[in-house]
Amino acid sequence: MTNLQSMDMLAAFRQQLQLSRVTKGEHVILLAEPGSRSDYVEAAFGAAISLGAHVMSVTVPSGIPAPTPATHTGSGPGLVSVLEDTVAQELLAKADLVLDLTREGFIHAPVQQEILQAGTRILFVCDAPDVLTRNMPRAEDKDDVLAAVDAVRSATEMTVTSRHGTDLRADLTDCHPGYQTGFADDPGRWDHWPSKMCLFWPEAPTGRIVLAPGDILLPFKEYVREEVVLEVDEGHIESIRGGADARTLETFMADCDDTWARYTSHMGWGLMKSADWFATAMYGKHEIMGMEARAFAGNFLWSTGPQPFLGRDSHAHLDIAMRDCTVALDGRTVVADGALAAREG
Ligand SMILES: [Fe+2]
């Protein structure tokens, strides 16, 4: 029987490769593992050929170095088969674009940084087909995220408040502002399709974070059901109070047995207006990474665990997406009660 599933995604991958500036004669490598979606490999293969690129499909064995579940989570420790194979690393570093179609990616793997430093562009793709097409980026999205990055770079302090009781302050000195915009166009650029967000790494946020019912805990892909109150002192989560969700977070951090599990990691806000907050409820957990929660326009996204700029190597990575927050930079509001301020849109 003819299998035409990949044809559904051919045009989307072609559009994506064009956004990622794949041109005739470039070298594109599709990196996959046995559990990767074969329709994505096929669609990307055809799309790269149609643009005149050289294309190779490379499938490596599954298996990650972390002692935790890690498919579609966002912790991105990378596959051992690449982390321990210098030939694979050299091949990827020689590509112009790597389309990372593995189930978890290499987001937090130092090896990925070395490949990027060679000038290779990497685009990570693991979400369901309609999540990709519904959130297809536009070239002008980059202007929005760069404006947000500029705003963070020129500010000295971020405050986050909410009607639920969140009241957090973070010094933005040396916070390394960055972005995701859903395509990888510049040499050495890593990005994630779909995404559109501004994120940075405050060293010592202090105050109170109150999670409200409906906020989203990732990588669990669960909605908060009962209010959770976290007291944070200089980046350390001193206490977690509340009901069942508080106990879940407390247990996770205890079970991790990880020095950095109770410390804050990146923070920022989402800019992806096409994102659907309820996508987290509508797909199987193996079908999505949860990017519509992470990049939802006007969310406040904060996280725990790894902090590369402070040398904190950790697999205990939570991303927590919150609605209804007001985010201000030196008193200038960029997100008001969970909605993007006009100039950030
Ligand atoms: Fe994260």
The alpha carbon of 218 and the centre of ligand 1 are apart by a number of angstroms equal to 9
> 153-156 long-range CB contacts below 8 Å, 24 or more apart?
153/177, 155/329, 155/330, 155/332, 156/330
CA of 317 to the centre of ligand 1 (A): 7
Rounded distance, CA 127 to CA 75, Å? 15
Confidence band of 108 (pLDDT split at 50, 70, 90): confident
Q: Could you give the CA distance from residue 295 to residue 62 in angstroms, rounded to a whole number?
A: 27
Ligand 1 centre distance from Cα of residue 23 (Å): 31
Q: Given this model, what pLDDT does residue 74 score?
A: 73
CA distance 312 to 266: 12
Average predicted confidence (pLDDT) for the chain: 95
Measure 280 CA to ligand 1 centroid, in angstroms. Answer: 16
CA of 153 to the centre of ligand 1 (A): 20
Distance 210 CA to ligand 1 centre (A): 19
Joined tokens for residue 109: 């793997």
Say how far apart CA 31 and CA 29 lie, in whole Å: 6
15 C-alpha vs ligand 1 centroid, how far in Å? 26
How far apart are the CA of 24 and the centre of ligand 1, in A? 34
CA–centroid distance, residue 75 to ligand 1 (Å): 7
CA of 30 to the centre of ligand 1 (A): 24
- Omega of the bond leading into 194 within 30 degrees of 0 (cis): yes
Q: Evaluate if residue 345 carries a pLDDT over 50.
A: no
pLDDT tens digits along 169-197: 999 999 999 999 999 999 999 999 999 99
95 Cα: distance to centroid of ligand 1 (angstroms): 26
What separation in Å is there between the alpha carbon of 124 and the centre of ligand 1? Answer: 14
Residues 238-243, mean pLDDT to the nearest whole number? 97
Q: Give helix 86-94 / helix 110-117 axis angle, nearest 10°.
A: 40
Question: How many whole angstroms from 163 Cα to the centroid of ligand 1?
Answer: 25
The CATH number assigned to the domain with range 7-126 reads: 3.40.50.2300
Q: Which amino acid is at 187?
A: P
- Domain ranges in the chain are 7-126, 141-340
DSSP 155-203: -SEEEEEETTS-EEEEE-TT---EEE-SS--STT-EEEES--EEEE--S
pLDDT digits (tens, 9 = 90+) for 146-173: 999 999 999 999 999 999 999 999 999 9
Summarize pLDDT for 298-320 with one digit per residue, the tens: 999 999 998 989 888 888 899 99
Q: How far is the CA of 54 from the centre of ligand 1 (A)?
A: 32
In this prediction, residues 31-42 reach a mean pLDDT of: 96
CB 227: neighbour CB atoms within 10 A?
17
| Interval 316-336: pLDDT, tens | 899 999 999 999 999 999 999
Q: What is the pLDDT of residues 253-305, one digit of tens each?
A: 999 888 999 999 999 999 999 999 999 999 999 999 999 999 999 999 999 99
Burial readout 18-54 (b: 16 or more C-beta within 10 A, e: otherwise): ebbbbeeebbbbbbbbeebbbbbbbbbbbbbeebebe
Could you read off the pLDDT of 63-79 as tens digits, one per residue? Answer: 888 777 777 777 778 89
